[in-house]
Structure 1
Amino acid sequence: MTTEQIISIVIFLITMTAIMTERVHRTVAAITGAILLIVTHILTIETSISYVDMNTIGVLVGMMLFVAVVKNSGIFEYIAIKSAKIAKGKPVNIMIIFILITTILSAFLDNVTTVLLIGPMTIAITRILKINPVPFLITQIMASNIGGTATLIGDPPNIMIGSAANLGFTDFILNTGIPVIFIIITAIIYFLILYKKQLAVDEENILKVMEMDENKAIKDKSLMIKSIILIVLVVIGFVFHSNLQMESCVIALLAAIIMLLIGKQDAEEIILGVEWSTILFFIGLFIVVGGLEETGVIDKLANLLVSATSGNMILTMIIILWASAIISSFLDNIPFVATLIPLILTMQQTGNIDVTPLWWALSLGACLGGNGTLIGASANVVLSSISNKNGYPITFKHYFKIGFPLMIISIIISSIYLLIRF
């Protein structure tokens, strides 16, 4: 290994350790790691910026601004109360309903957008019921990653894979969508067993929920109508963004700009409502992972995965599935997927073999692997930040104890599916 590779690995490990142990604020840890890569000349300012996924940052900023305006209409409180009343005020039913809503929305919206919409609703209703929202928020984080696995547009790795392998929306529904159904059913059972004792609530609080009038939660009817129209247009925009020849970040930022212009809200207040610490965390994390990519460490790792299988397609498929899942729990899955895509294409061209199973293994592993840790996916970081800001901290250790076992279960189900399918 070269000196540059060793330095980039050491900085990466120190940064990740600081984030995981939470002895240093994760944003401070990520930015420190990024600066150290520049100070040690592993990256220049220009190259470090090139590793920041501006599409992801754009979606984050755009949807945070969008949701900051929309929430002033009272729509989240309205949906929260309506959903809770449909669930008869019972926390178990509310959890299941919100998991299903999150899963379905994540299949057609960006995961971050979904949790930005669902998170405030959850906190609002759990406050009425006087129970801890953390179990609900954790289940929604995981549901968003599971739902995002099902479609071409649900998660950035799927968009990348679909483009490289010429796979369409239907291809993903028929291949990754099928195991997702079994995984979400298993996840619901897992959550209900895990959180059964924490979902007890006083009958008095249930009655309070049932007596509430959801219509009174609407603060600005005009803004609510505008919000609903824009939310529908955003969904359509995300589904057809490739046909419109627009990046998803353009859709998100355009929606934010329109809402800022027509929402008639205090722009200063809306801008301050963005989770800027989360944005800076992602920028730092992209650069830290970029250090590994710049020095060839990710390349070496990807080559090792492929060469270790000696061309056995089934073995390669399973190794890519599991390695993608484990690595994507701790690393951003976008650069990892970007590195593996050309390798799979090379195998197809030089070996003249059908690599279709490898695309689905990569998709399932990279997307579902995001559930493994609190930093495994964008949705995890965003929703945990919202929870922390509202006084309900979600620690790396607490999340890991719940998320990592579910991720392993998800990959076992995916392994069985792929072995039967191929």
Structure 2
Amino acid sequence: MTAIAIIVFVAAYVLIATEWTHKLMAALGGAGVLLALGVTDSEHAFYSHETGVDWDVIFLLFGMMVIVGVLRRTGVFEYVAIWAAKRAKGSPLRVMILLTLITAIASAFLDNVTTVLLIAPVTLLVCDRLGIDPIPFLIAEVMASNIGGAATLIGDPPNIIIASRSGLTFNDFLVHMAPLVVIVLIVFTLVLPRVFRGSFEVDPGRVNDVLRLNEREAIEDRALLIKCGVVLLFVFAGFVGHSALHIEPSVVALLGAGVLVLISKVPTRNYMSSVEWQTLLFFAGLFIMVGALVKTGVIADLADQIGKVTEGRALLAVMLILGVSAVLSGIIDNIPYVATMSPVVLELTKGITDPVQADALWWALAIGADFGGNATAVGASANVVVIGLALRAGHPISFWAFTRKGVVVTAITIAVAAPYLWIRYFLLA
């Protein structure tokens, strides 16, 4: 069964990477083969928290897609697009820097999937106004989202899993992760012109047209905008305080969507058309395939080897966890990876007497998983969502178009993170 799980996953991954078939067909086909051959079953695929579909992620996405669908009716995305273009004086590079920084900061306080759902429509609109290709901008933003989300406990789902296993608090993440994220964002901003060179040509006539626009005229329904604003305020508050309220973010998103649909009275077809059904089904197939790897012990066996190699040497363990996490989180979604790796890290910390160095293992796991999610198109949930939105808008992003940039950015960010971990937790400890 183990061999079958590996073969099917690799085959599906090759199909996704080469785009020989649609990624949805590859994911659902792989999941179907594993179910048909008995490698996994309905109990594990649909009902298990460890090896099945992560319904919290699916319904968080669904709820926020509905909210965004209603919000789109207000014209607020057009408003923000025009505002951003005018503040950047029509310069595509300045627009990219401004939108990536907004995305990174927002992702520290919201789930990164929620952030990209809100920022992607703005990006598509501002690029349309300037007559430039939105693909580099969308890729840059989703990478900034994965970087910024690492700063806090609630910014990226892997961080929530780590906190529940390790006992680390919101303030712990803020103190230990946020400084690194600030450094990495500065480096990321500096390399943007090189990573996305050739993406900043613009027609001066289009720039002048945008600068003459009045963003306030873009708002089409102020009453609906107020209703959306109030609901979003409560939804964001629910995201921030979900651990204290004991309400999962998915439930918060669904409640927010339900209330907004009820009070807005927007026709069903208008907001349901914003739901990315292909993206949701792709996630379901991917979760089932990765769950089969977890169920058969493939990921756990791989993780256990780290413990045998390190033999209680804290610095080696930290660097190994950082590197392995960065690589594997680019191949499989970082949520199931962290869920599987967390018990292993917990065992490793028991063999390290210095509590500061023991905690460094957790930070290495968080950094590797969060930053490693940028490596490929399927490394993080936000990547898949943005690719789905781009496809819907008529701007398909291929697996390799994303991965060529993602591998470079991941290598740079991990190269910055490694000395940070060494200096802070070993050299200065």
When normalised by structure 1's length, the TM-score is: 0.97
Structure 2 unaligned runs (5+)? Answer: none
Paired position in structure 1 for 2:262? 261
Measured against aligned partners, the alpha-carbon deviations of 1:257-282 in whole angstroms (never above 9, x if no partner) come to: 11111122111332232000000000
Which deviates more from structure 2 when the two are superposed, residues 81-90 or residues 373-382?
Answer: 81-90
Deviates more, 1:370-379 or 1:333-342: 333-342
For 1:371, the equivalent position in structure 2 comes to 374
Asked if the contact 1:317/1:361 (under 8 Å) is kept, the reply is: yes
Could you tell me how far 1:367 is from its partner in structure 2?
Answer: 0.7
Per-residue deviation, 1:350: 5.8
Q: Which whole-Å deviations, capped at 9, do the CAs of 1:234-279 have from their partners, x for residues lacking one?
A: 2211111111110010111111111111122111332232000000
Matched, 1:41 2:38: yes
Q: 2: distance between equivalents of 1:290 and 1:357?
A: 28
What CA distance in whole angstroms lies between the structure 1 residues aligned with 2:348 and 2:170? 24
Equivalent position to 2:389, from 373, 386, 389: 386
Provide the residue aligned with 2:407 in structure 1: 404
The DSSP-based 3-state class of the residue aligned with 1:199 is coil
What is the Cα deviation at residue 231 of structure 1?
2.2
How far residue 364 of structure 1 moved from its aligned partner, in angstroms, is 0.3
Residues 349 and 359 in structure 2, CA contact (< 8 A), matched pair in contact too:
no
Q: 2:312 — aligned with what? A: 311
Q: How many residues are matched?
A: 419
Give, in angstroms, the shift of residue 352 of structure 1: 5.3
How far apart are 1:338 and its partner, in Å?
A: 1.5
How do 1:1-400 residues align onto structure 2 when only pairs under 5 Å count?
4-49=1-46, 50=48, 51-349=52-350, 354=355, 355-400=358-403
Contact kept, 8 Å, 1:58 with 1:253, in 2: the verdict is yes
Q: Is the contact made by 2:377 and 2:399 (CA closer than 8 Å) also made in structure 1?
A: yes
The CA distance in 2 between the partners of 1:77 and 1:86, in whole Å, is 14
Contact 2:312 2:351 in 1 (8 A): no
CA contact (8 A) 1:20 1:397 kept: yes
| SS of the residue 2:39 aligns to | coil
Report if aligned partners of 2:81, 2:123 keep a CA contact under 8 Å in 1.
yes
1:419 aligns with 2:410: no
Shift of 1:393: 1.3
Q: Cα deviations across residues 205-233 of structure 1 (Å, max 9, x unaligned)?
A: 11111111111111111111112222222
Tell me, in whole angstroms, the C-alpha distance in 1 between the residues paired with 2:350 and 2:419: 28
Cα distance in 1, alignment partners of residues 369 and 256 from structure 2: 28
Q: Distance in 2 between matches of 1:127 and 1:351?
A: 54
| Cα-Cα RMSD | 1.2
- Post-superposition offset of 1:163: 1.6
SS of the residue aligned with 2:153?
coil
Aligned equivalents of 2:219, 2:142: Cα separation in 1: 26
1:288-339 CA distances to partner (integer Å, 9 max, x unpaired)?
Answer: 0011111111110110122111221100000001100100001111222112
Q: 1:33-72 CA distances to partner (integer Å, 9 max, x unpaired)?
A: 1111111111111211121111111111111111111111
Q: Is the Cα contact below 8 Å between 1:108 and 1:151 reproduced in 2?
A: yes
TM-score, scaled to structure 2: 0.95
Cα deviation for residue 181 of structure 1 reads: 0.9
CA contact (8 A) 1:347 1:353 kept: no
Shift of 1:155: 0.6
8 Å contact from structure 2 (residues 391, 397) kept in 1: yes
CA distance in 2, matches of 1:240, 1:192: 37
1:197 and 1:42 map into 2 onto residues whose CA distance is 47
Contact 1:309 1:315 in 2 (8 A): yes
Aligned amino acid, residue 298 of structure 1? I
TM superposition shift of 1:353: 5.5
1:308 counterpart SS class: helix
Identity %: 43
CA contact (8 A) 2:104 2:145 kept: yes
Partner Cα distance (2:224, 2:97) in 1 = 29
Evaluate the alpha carbon distance shift between residue 372 and residue 259 of structure 1 in structure 2; reply closer, same or farther with a 3 A threshold: same
Q: Which runs of 5+ in 1 are unaligned?
A: none
Report deviation, 1:188.
Answer: 1.3
C-alpha contact 1:371 1:407 (8 A) present in aligned 2: yes
* Inter-partner Cα distance in structure 1 for 2:328 and 2:229: 38
